[in-house]
Structure formats: structure tokens, C-alpha cells
A = this chain, B = another copy of it.
Amino acid sequence: MPLPPSSRRVFLAATGAAAASVWIPRPVKGYAHTEVRAASLDDVGISKWEIDTPALCVDLDRLERNIAKMQAAVRKNGIATRPHAKTHKTAAIARLQLAAGAIGICTAKLGEAEALFAAGIEPLCMTTSNLSPRKIRRAMQLAKANRQFIQAVDAAGNARDLSAAAREAGVTADIVVDVAVGTRSGIPPGDDAVALAKLVDTLPNLKLRGLLSYDGGAQHVNGFAARKERALKGLEGNVETREAMKRAGLSTEIFSGGGTGTYSVQHLTPGFTDVQVGSYVFMDMQYLAIGSEDGDAVYKDFEPSLTVVATVLNNRFPGRLTTDAGAKALTLNVPRPGVVGEPGMDYNPGSDEFGVITFTEARRTYRMGDRIEMIVPHCDPVVNLYDQMYGVRGDKVEVVWPITARGRSQ
């Protein structure tokens, strides 16, 4: 399909808003609220062990290998990637994914789509429905500025609201029907889902593009065989819905779902077009625990690239360290943070401001002020705590990326 000409640059130029696609240091000195980012630029070139902590770091070699490996794997299987930006919220990483061959970028929230578009990302698919009149109006404004914006719908009333708002905005909105896998969101597969697709196809100012079918619960099923079975069986009703849509002459150009846990089997789902993989860029303690196809307890398809570097604040008591990275730096997700190089350490981030490490054996001694590095429990919510991410090659900071859509939950 030929892509429509982009109106982003025209739109932004006309309205005086600068696209934040390149991160330009501000000339501000002093204690302006924006200075934290300008100050971070001074960090380019330093060792990652010198960054002020807690610091969110991504190993660029590993990140690049993860992106390349995912892209090669799904290409070999005859499908595509449409990576989910709810994980990284970072325009720079979306750009790497698109450059590697991704056909689009997903977002969970409208605010994420707006922020990424402002930073130059155009082929965007928002995977959650917008229900309130205000959000629908915002979504149609974005659709008007960005012809590559795709919206989800899972209810007939909502489809009619979208149609009316698209007409009012003077735009034809690209729509996918969100067909449920489970009970969380989406219209259940079957006749109602097909009827909704037909309704979207007939309503003015809407253009049906296909369907979404994301099975969040399948991603973390422990053990490859069980995960594969869940991923494929869970989508059987959705496959029937897609086939009924096709028989009815409706577009099934997009049949999207799957994630980091199921990317390697999702092409076995008939008609499937692309995987909405997110966590594979970073990995985390949760994904490391789901097990590999070869039976290994550790999921080794992708390399853990995301860490938080913290500082030891207290080493006074044997078998115990206090750090400056607690729940506000690492979240309360389980499994707990993994201390790099210290398999015998248990890291409790339960305090808001402090982490407490307990151990019986450590590989080295830790003094006050020493740095210590953790693999994060679950990458998505940890990334959402930080305004910037330090891109590290070896031990050296190569780039500091603003986390473009951090906190854009509305």
C-alpha cells in the first residue's frame, strides 16, 4: 500500500511547534525545571559508573542485536513486526525499529501516540479504544495531522461516535476492530465482532483496516510448549472471526497481536500479519523466567539490555546493603530486581526511596558510594518512571535519550 504523504512537517511548521526528533541541548543554566535534561548531555562520554543515580541504562549493543534478531526471525516466518511503544516510550528506539523494517509502531494510550508523532514517528496504531468525547476529538485531530494513525474500536456505539467525530474533523479515520482474547478488553470473537467490522466498513469517514487480537496472558506462560499451545488455541475464535470478515468482503489487511513470548509461533495463526512485540528490546526478570524453546529455564532469545544503576548508601551491617533505588526507581513487580554479577543477592525495592539488599555471600565487597547494577523486574513500568535513558556502549555513555512519551497515560 502506498503511504499517504506525510502532513506532520507541514502541520508542525504551520503551528509553530518544533518536532523533537533531535534532542537539542537547551542553553539554560541554573535551576530551571528543564535543566535535568540539558545537564544529562554533559554525561555523554562519561563512564556509566559515574552517572548520578538511580540511572536507567540501556546497553546499545544488546539493544541493536535484539532489534535485528526479532526482525530477522519474523521475516523468516513471513510476517512483520509492529512493535509496541508502551514498553520503551522512546522515539529514538521506535526509529531504530522502523529502520530495521517494522511496519508500524503501536501505542496503548492516545498521549503516547501524540508524543511520538511530535517526535517524528508516523505509522502509529493505538491498540486501545478512545471512549470519551474529548479523547475522540483529540484522536481525530491526530488522525488529521498524521494520515498513518490507526485507531481501535470494540463497540458499535463507539464506532458511531468515531464516525461522527471523523466527519466533524473532516478526516477519514483508519480503524481496526479490537477482537478480544479473554475478558479484559475488545469485543468477543464471533458474530458480534463481524457485525462491528461491517458497521465500521459502512459508517462514513471510517476506513476498516482489519483486526487486532492481542493475548497479553499468553506472553508469560511458563515453558515454551505450554506457551505455544496457549498462544495458538487462544486465537482460534479470532481466526474464525477473521475468516468470516474475509468472506464478507471486509478488509483483513491487518491481523495483529502476539508479543515477545509468542513472536516465534504467531505466524502459525492463519492470516496473521504482524506481532506487537515490546519487551524484546530490553528484556526483564519476568521475561527471563518464562523459559526457552530448548527447555532452558531462562528465556535466552533476547539479551537483557536494560538496567538501573544505583549507589550503595549503607554497608554497616553484615549481609545487608542499602541503595538509593527503591520502589520509585524499580517498581514493585516480581520477580524482584536481579543484581548483575551477584546471584546470591536478594534485592527488595519495597521502600519508596531505598533498596535493601540481603545476602549471605557476595562476589566482592561494597563500600558506601559504590555503584551496583540491577536487571529490572518488568521493563514497561520501570521505563515509565524515568525522564531519560542512558544509552551505553561498553561502559561509556554514548547518548542520552529523552523518554518521549513518559507519563503520557491520558
Choice from B29, B55, B86 contacting A410 with Cβ under 8 Å: B55
By the criterion of a CB under 8 Å from any partner CB, how many residues of chain A are at the interface? 84
Q: Which of A57-65, A72-80, A326-334 contacts B (4 or more CB under 8 A)?
A: A326-334
Q: Which of A203-211, A259-267, A383-391, A393-401 contacts B (4 or more CB under 8 A)?
A: A383-391
Indicate whether A368 reaches chain B with its CB closer than 8 angstroms.
yes
Q: Known contacts A313-B129, A314-B184, A351-B184; is A54 also within 8 Å of B410 by CB?
A: yes
Indicate whether A15 reaches chain B with its CB closer than 8 angstroms.
yes
Nearest CB of B to A392, in Å: 16
Indicate whether A32 reaches chain B with its CB closer than 8 angstroms.
yes
Copies in the complex: 2
Q: Would you call B322 and A408 a contact (CB within 8 A)?
A: no
Residue in A313, A317, A333, A368 whose Cβ sees the most chain B Cβ within 10 Å = A313
Choice from B29, B407, B409 contacting A17 with Cβ under 8 Å: B29
- Give the docked Cα–Cα distance between A173 and B20 (Å): 39
Q: Would you call B409 and A158 a contact (CB within 8 A)?
A: no
- Give the docked Cα–Cα distance between A20 and B28 (Å): 13
Choice from B20, B30, B33 contacting A115 with Cβ under 8 Å: B33
- Give the docked Cα–Cα distance between A183 and B314 (Å): 9
Residues in B with CB closer than 8 Å to A157 are 368
Indicate whether A324 reaches chain B with its CB closer than 8 angstroms.
yes
Residues in B with CB closer than 8 Å to A50 are 132, 134
Besides A16-B28, A30-B145, 11 more A-B contacts (Cβ < 8 Å) are A17-B30, A20-B33, A31-B118, A32-B118, A36-B408, A50-B132, A53-B410, A109-B324, A157-B368, A185-B322, A216-B351
